[in-house]
Structure 1
C-alpha cells in the first residue's frame, strides 16, 4: 500500500461535538496520528444515544487515540504541555474565554512548541463579537440561511450541521497551507476559522445575488430558491410512490426530458428556453409532475438514464448505503465498536483504499493515556502519580452500556 499523505504527522485535538473533531477526522483519514485529548467527562458525543456514543462520535472519532487529562489542574496542564511539544498541529474549538482560562491561547501554546500549527475553530473570528459564543444554528441564523428555511412559519435550522463541517474543512485547508509554508522554510502560520465567517462565505452567492438585484431593480429582491427558479428541477412522485429528483438545469436537459417521456412539448418552441419556462412555471411544473406520475420508478429511471438525464431517487438514510456506487473500493470503512458493525464513509480521495490508513475503532475514554504520555517523555512513575492524583485518567471497564431498546406493546 502507498503511504498516506500525512503519515508521521501528530495532531492533537481538543474538540467537542463536531467542528474540531470533523477537522481532525479528515487529517486522520489523510494519515495523521490524531490524539483526542478529553476532559474526565469526555466529549459530550460519547453519551448522546442511550447512554453511549452517538453516530457523530463513531463516524468522526474512529482512528483517533484518546488521552484523558484534567487541564484545569497544574499537573494535568504540565503533562499536556509535554504532549504538545511533540505535536505538529493543535486543533481546538474551545470558547475563547475557556482557552484563556486553561492557558491554551496561541501565544501560550507556541511558547511550548514554536513549530506548532495552532488552529482555533471558534464562534466568531476577530472583531467586536470575538468572545461571543456561537453554534451551527447561530451561524445559520446570522448569515441568512435560517430565515428562508421555515417549518410551520418558524425559522428553523437545516438539520445537518453543515456550518460546523464546512468550518472543519476550512481548518484543514489552513493547516495544509501552513504545512506547505513550513516546508518552504517559512514560519508556520496559525489558523483561525469562525463559524460566522464560514457562514458568510458559504452564503456569498446569495448575499451577492441580493445586492445585484437591489442595484439592478432599485429594491431588495432575493434570488428564488434553486428548485423553484428552474421548472422541472426538484422532486416528483412516481406512480408507485417513490420520489425521483430531476436535474433540470438548462434547455438541453428540458429537451432530453421531454423526449425521454415522449412529450409533445419536445417540439414546443414556446417552452424551448429557460426564460420562457420560468414565465410558464405552473404549466411546466404540472407537465413534469404528470409525466413522472404516469410511470413507475424503474420505468421512469430507465427512460431518463437512456436519455442521459441527471436524476436520483430520494432515499431515506437506511437505504443510502445499499447503492452499488457506495460500495466501490475506498468509499466505506468497516468499523467495529462494542460488538456492533458499522460501514463508515471515507474522506473522498482518489486512492483512499490504497493509502494504508489503519482502521482503529473509536477509542474508549482515556484508552491511550499512558501510552501516549510515555511517548511524550512522561515516565511510568510520573504517569502513575498523575493517575493517583486524578490529573489524568485511563479507561474504566464498562464505562457505558447502550440502553436496550424497549419494546412497545
Structure 2
C-alpha cells in the first residue's frame, strides 16, 4: 500500500528460524518489499510440521517474496550481489564465519552498495565471544533468565523464543535509525544486534535490582520465585476450576479486591500496605486463593471488573483468538495457505490506521526467483542460464504436501 510508512523500501532477508525473519516481518508489515533469499533446502521452518511449514513460517513469512539462490555457487553469489546492488537493506542472522564464506560480510556488501543498510543479528556482538555461536536458549542461560526458571530443579528455557523476537525488534529500531541518519548524510549504515546483548538489555531491571540489594543489604537477594513480589498478584483457581490471573500491584488494587469480594481484610490496617502484605505473604496468598476459589469464574470476574480490579482468564493457545478483544477490527489478518485458513495476529497499529499492506500468502520456495532477478537487472537469458546451472531455482509446484492427520482411536 502506497501510504504504508516503508513503501518503496526493498529489503533482502537471508534468515533462518526466527530472529532475522521476525525483523523483516515487522518491516513487511510496515510496507517494505521483503525478498526472502533461501538456499535450495529452504528456511528450516518450511519443513518442521508433518513435512511442511511450521507456525513460525506462516506467521512471520506471509507478505514476503521467495528467491531460491544457492550461495555456495559462484553464480548464486553473483546473482545475490546484483540484487543487493538494487536494494535498500540486508538483514541476516548467519553465523559470522558463514557470512564471510558466502560473501555477505559487511565490507563486501558496502563495496557492492554503499547506501545499503546492513543489519546482522548474531549470537554475540563485538567482544571476546563475537565468533561464538548462540541461540535463544543460550542467551537465556547467559543472562540470568534460565537460572531463575526451573522445572523440577533443572534450569530450563522459557519455551517461546522471546530473545530472538526481541533481537528482531531491536534490529528494526536500529535500521529505522540508520535510515533516518542517512537523510542527514551520515555514512554509517551498519546495524549489529547480538542475542546476548539483547538478553542483557531485557534483563537490565533484574541485573540492576540485584546490584541495588547487594549494596543496600550487603548480600545478593532476589525474589524467591518467578512470580512478582506482590502477594495476590498471580493465578488462582475458581470454583469451576478455571484459572483467573489477578493484577495486584498497589494498595489501591488490594482495597478494591477486598471490597469486590466483601472481605473484612479491606479494613485490616495490618494488610493495608504492600510491605506488610509481603511480610504476611502466606496469609495473603491463602486468603486470596480461598476467596477466588469460593466463586465460579464468571461471577468472580463480574464482581472484580465492576470494582475496577484487573484480571483475566489464563487461556490455552487454542482459545486465545476467540476473545472478543482479539476478534475486534485490526487485530487479526486472514491468511490462506495450501488450502488451509489462518488468523494471524497483526503488527499493532492505531485502530484508525489504513496503511496495512495487502496480504500475500506465504510464498512457495523460489516462487519469485525469476521476478526478483529480473527486477535486479538480469536479462531473461541470464536468468535462464542461472536456472539451468542450478545456481538459482524456481518454484516446485509439488514442493511438499502435509502428511495426513491419522485418526485417533
What is the TM-score with the length of structure 2 in the denominator? 0.98
CA-CA distance at 1:229 after TM superposition? 1.3
- 1:236 aligns with 236
Could you tell me which residue of structure 2 aligns to residue 323 of structure 1?
Answer: 323
The answer to whether structure 1 residue 189 and structure 2 residue 189 are counterparts is yes
- Note closer, same or farther for the CA distance 1:93–1:43 as it changes in structure 2 (3 Å cut): same
Q: In the alignment, is residue 102 of structure 1 matched against residue 114 of structure 2?
A: no
Partners of 2:313 and 2:123 in 1: how far apart?
36
Structure 1 position 189, deviation (Å): 2.7
Superposition pairs of residues 286-305 of structure 1, within 5 angstroms? 286-305=286-305
The corresponding residue for 1:59 is 59
Conservation of the 8 A alpha-carbon contact between 1:38 and 1:365: yes
CA 1:387–1:157: 2 relative to 1, 3 Å = same
1:403 offset after TM fit, Å?
Answer: 0.5
Within the alignment, does 1:49 sit opposite 2:46 as a pair? no
Alignment of 1:90-239 (within 5 A): 90-225=90-225, 227-239=227-239
1:376/1:228 CA distance change after superposition, 3 Å:
closer
1:148 aligns to what SS in structure 2? coil
Q: Deviations over 1:248-282 (max 9, x none)?
A: 00100000000000000111111000011011111
1:185 Cα offset (Å): 2.4
RMSD: 1.1
Aligned with 1:405: secondary structure?
coil
Deviation at 1:54, TM superposition (A): 0.1
Q: Normalising by structure 1, report the TM-score.
A: 0.98
Please report how far the alpha carbon of residue 351 of structure 1 lies from its aligned counterpart in structure 2 after TM superposition. Answer: 5.0
Deviation at 1:187, TM superposition (A): 2.0
Following superposition, the deviation at residue 228 of structure 1 comes to: 4.7
Counterpart CA distance in 1 for 2:399 and 2:352 is: 33
Provide the rounded CA distance (Å) in 1 between the counterparts of 2:147 and 2:307. Answer: 38
Answering whether residue 397 of structure 2 is matched by residue 393 of structure 1, we say: no
Change (3 A) 1:245 1:2: farther
Q: How many residues align?
A: 409
Q: Deviations over 1:73-100 (max 9, x none)?
A: 1111111101001111100000000001
Provide the C-alpha distance between the structure 1 equivalents of 2:95 and 2:303, rounded to a whole number of angstroms. Answer: 53
Deviations 1:96-146 (A, max 9, x none): 000011111101001000000000000000011000000000000000000
* 2:149–2:226 CA contact under 8 A, matched in 1: no
Distance 1:313 1:2 in 2: 40
What is the distance in 2 between the residues matched to 1:156 and 1:224? 17
The 1-side partners of 2:331 and 2:96 are apart by 36
- How big is the shift at 1:217? 1.2
C-alpha deviation, 1:322, in angstroms: 0.5
Q: Secondary structure at the match of 2:402?
A: coil
Question: Displacement of 1:324 after TM fit?
Answer: 0.9
Question: How many angstroms apart in 2 are the aligned matches of 1:226 and 1:139?
Answer: 18
Q: Which runs of 4+ in 1 moved over 4 A?
A: none
* Matches for 1:255-270 after TM superposition, within 5 Å: 255-270=255-270
Unaligned runs of 5+ in 1: none
Alpha-carbon distance in 1 for matches of 2:308, 2:289: 19
Query: Which residue of structure 2 lines up, in the alignment, with residue 348 of structure 1?
Result: 348
Shift of 1:227: 2.8
Q: Distance in 1 between matches of 2:352 and 2:224?
A: 38
- Alignment check: 8 A CA contact 2:368 2:394 kept: yes
State the secondary structure of the residue aligned to 1:57: helix
Deviation larger for 350-359 or 118-127: 350-359
Change (3 A) 1:30 1:190: same
SS at structure 2 position matched to 1:354: coil
Gaps of 5+ in 2: none
Alpha-carbon separation, structure 2, partners of 1:395 and 1:51: 17
